[in-house]
Homo-oligomer: A and B are copies of this chain.
Amino acid sequence: MNQRELQRRQTRRTLAEHALRLFSTNGFDATTVEEIAAAAGVSQRTFFLHFSTKSAAAFPDHEERVRDFVDRLGDGHSVGNPLLHLCEVLAGGLDTSSPTRRTRYQLLAQVGALRDEDARTDRDYEVVVAAYLMQAWGEAAEARVRAHAIANAALGVCRASLIGWGEDGIDPREVCFEILHRMICSPFDAPLHSLQ
């Protein structure tokens, strides 16, 4: 691990921490990027070197999580069904005892701009899941629509469960797994399991 790389990650982490803190104490709208940067001891320009938008600083490990998701999609450990795997990673893999995570999802439940950001990042998962489904269903336009529809539905369930966690502290795992199973895995069982 480089010293440069180390410094870079440190800066990014510090920015994300101060962003989350300021968002939750002063409110998202009342917090300026300038303030976050100042709190982290860097310039405002540097903030945008690490995060493309103000909202993105609330989800600092998104790219990493998507990468993990993709990596584990193919290996022997994960369930063949990518939708349950999605749920496992998004809701199940969540450390529900982490205060930072909790703060993040409480904010998500309250702030519109962060919901937008969340929906935006979900599209990365959508693309991956849809591509996975299309391995079985083919590349035809109609298959693509169906794959995206299913992926979108699954993400909708996960998203709602996570927001429910932020709002009321409902454990996202149970409800998410149960609904996904009833809604997607059972009705679409055969075509999905035939992928393995």
Interface of A with B (CB < 8 Å)? Answer: 112, 115-116, 119-120, 123, 141-142, 144-146, 148-157, 159-161, 163-164, 167-170, 175-176, 179, 182-184, 186-188
Contact = CB atoms under 8 A, between A and B. Distances in A.
Nearest to A187: B182
A94 B141 CA distance: 20
8 contacts: A116-B120, A141-B169, A144-B164, A145-B161, A149-B156, A153-B154, A183-B188, A187-B187
A157 B164 contact: no
Interface of A is mostly: helix
Contacts of A153: 153-154, 156-157, 179, 183
B164 A145 contact: yes
B149 A176 contact: yes
A159 B126 CA distance: 12
Nearest to A168: B141
